[in-house]
Amino acid sequence: MEKLRILIPKGRIFENISWLFDDAGIGIALPDRTYRPRLSVDWLDAKIMKPQNVGELLELGSHDAGFTGLDWIRESAAEVEEVLDLGFDRVRIVAAVPRVMNDGDLKSRKLVVATEYVSLARNWLEASGYAYRILRTYGATEVFPPDDADMIVDNTSTGQTLKDNGLRIVADILESSTRFVAAKSALARPEKRRRIEELAMLFKAVLDGRDRVMLEMNVSKARFGELVHGLPAMRSPTVAPLHGDEGFAVKIAVQKGEVGGLIPRLKRLGAVDIVEYALRKAVL
């Protein structure tokens, strides 16, 4: 059987993807000074690559699937299929200028714009009617103004680094997060499509499980109807009779954010022996 070839970005994204694979039941290890992770299944072959390159390599067909930010997919204009938004590493691509620069100055001259996102910046600058020259950067873009650039287009999660460097945001260009994407050529092949869809199902189950907990409780026959009527659940609760026909054991999966208000309500509805535990996966 031909292996599914996947690309995993290096750096911060790798840590999240490694956790995702581990919780999906696929062991992953990256020996020092190598770019070929070891995986616990024989139908996967992985390679480490910068996120900037993932989209284009998938479009070329040299690999079948991979992980990268939406920002780099849009920047490279790669023709790939998004399979799943993993929600990791959420950032905004923004335009920022020195705090001392007022909005009237922005269109009164030709701006020097420092950025790693050359295409995204150019498209936004053109649409916004700016006169500009782009200065391509290779990291630490925020240090260019005011001496070497009038504006930057860069990613930010909280905006604090921009503030610390005397910059203010003048526009939001794109919201980005890590995506699981696939080559169109791979999706056109039934066996590879099946493998990609199975991976996506496992990843989604892990992500859904991370947001939920399981609650188990007992309830008497007399209070059972009232309790079940007041339960939230993914579909419907799991119910089993207690030994001695004294009542029922009830199990539900709920969002973590619901638990604080839900447990006191369950007590009022007659629940006893309430136990909460984490979920590893939730296949909805």
| CA–CA gap between residue 196 and residue 193 (Å, rounded) | 5
Instruction: Retrieve residue 23's tokens.
Output: 């919780």
What's the confidence (pLDDT) of residue 234? 56
Beta bridge partner(s), residue 82: 181
| CA–CA gap between residue 280 and residue 211 (Å, rounded) | 10
Instruction: Retrieve residue 211's tokens.
Output: 């947001």
Full 3-state SS string of 122-174:
HHHHHHHCCCEEEEECCCCHHHCCCCCCCEEEEEECCCHHHHHCCEEEEEEEE
What's the confidence (pLDDT) of residue 284? 65
Helix (H) or strand (E) holding 269: none
- Smallest CA-to-CA distance from 26 within 13, 5, 40, 14 is with 40
| CA–CA gap between residue 30 and residue 49 (Å, rounded) | 13
Q: Which residue is listed with tokens 């059972």?
A: 224
**Residue 242: which residues within 8 A CB-CB, separation 6 or more?**
218, 248, 249
On the 0-12 / 13-18 / 19+ scale of CB atoms within 10 A, 280 is: exposed
Q: Which residue is listed with tokens 């209070």?
A: 223
What's the confidence (pLDDT) of residue 117? 97
Instruction: Retrieve residue 174's tokens.
Output: 């794109």
pTM for the model stands at 0.82
Instruction: Retrieve residue 246's tokens.
Output: 């004294």
What's the confidence (pLDDT) of residue 257? 85
| CA–CA gap between residue 107 and residue 1 (Å, rounded) | 59
Terminal CA-CA length for the chain:
29
What's the confidence (pLDDT) of residue 235? 61
| CA–CA gap between residue 182 and residue 7 (Å, rounded) | 10
| 205-228 pLDDT per residue, tens | 999 888 888 899 999 999 999 998
| CA–CA gap between residue 79 and residue 74 (Å, rounded) | 9
| CA–CA gap between residue 6 and residue 3 (Å, rounded) | 9
What's the confidence (pLDDT) of residue 281? 72
| CA–CA gap between residue 154 and residue 159 (Å, rounded) | 10
pLDDT by residue for the chain (284 residues), tens digit each? 689 999 999 877 888 999 999 999 999 988 877 889 999 999 999 999 999 999 999 999 999 999 999 999 999 999 999 999 999 999 999 999 999 888 887 888 899 999 999 999 999 999 999 999 999 999 899 999 999 999 999 999 998 999 999 999 999 999 999 999 999 999 999 999 999 999 999 999 999 888 888 899 999 999 999 998 888 765 678 899 998 888 999 998 888 888 888 999 999 999 999 999 887 777 76
| Axis crossing angle, helix 190-210 with helix 12-23, rounded to the nearest 10 | 90
Delineate the domains of the chain, giving CATH numbers in brackets.
Answer: 4-87+177-209 (3.40.190.10), 91-175 (3.40.190.10), 212-278 (3.30.70.120)
